Amino acid sequence: MRPLNTPEALRRIDAVFDLLRRAGLDEQTAIVDFRTPASYTRGFALEEVTGRALGAQTDSAENRLDPRDLPADEFPRISELAPRLVAADHGAEFELGLDLIVTGLQAELERLAPTGSSA
C-alpha cells in the first residue's frame, strides 16, 4: 500500500475534501464521508493481503480455523454460512459493500440539497 502522507496523496485527499465541502457538507460530515469509503477500501485490501478471518484454511494459515470444521451447536450461524464464507467472490462482496456506502453518501447529499425553488 502507498502511504497517504505524501504530497501527491495529500493533494488528492484535499481535492476530495474540496468536492465534499462544495457539495454542502459541514466539516465533520466531510471528514466522515471521506474516511468511511477510504477505511473500507483499506480494510478490504488488508484482508486480501493477510488472509480472511473466515475462509478456507491454507498451508500458511495453520492456526486459523476453517469455518466448515466448527461445531454447529457452538457456532450455528458461521456453520450455516461456512460454504459461502469459503467460496466467496471477494470482488463481488467488495463491489456490493462499496455500492452500499456510495448509496448512503448519495442519500445524504440529496438530503442536504436545497429543494427546488419557485420562480
Could you tell me if residue 80 is inside a domain? Answer: yes
pLDDT digits (tens, 9 = 90+) for 45-66: 888 888 766 665 555 555 677 8
Q: The domain containing residue 60 runs over which residues?
A: 7-110
Sign for the CA dihedral angle at 104, 109, 110, 111 comes to positive
Local confidence band at 109 (pLDDT 50, 70, 90 cut-offs) = confident
What is the reported pTM? 0.68
Would you say residue 13 lies in a domain? yes
pLDDT value, residue 102: 92
In a domain, 44, yes or no: yes
| Residue 119 confidence (pLDDT) | 41
Instruction: Determine, yes or no, domain membership for 115.
Output: no
How many domains does the chain fold into?
A: 1
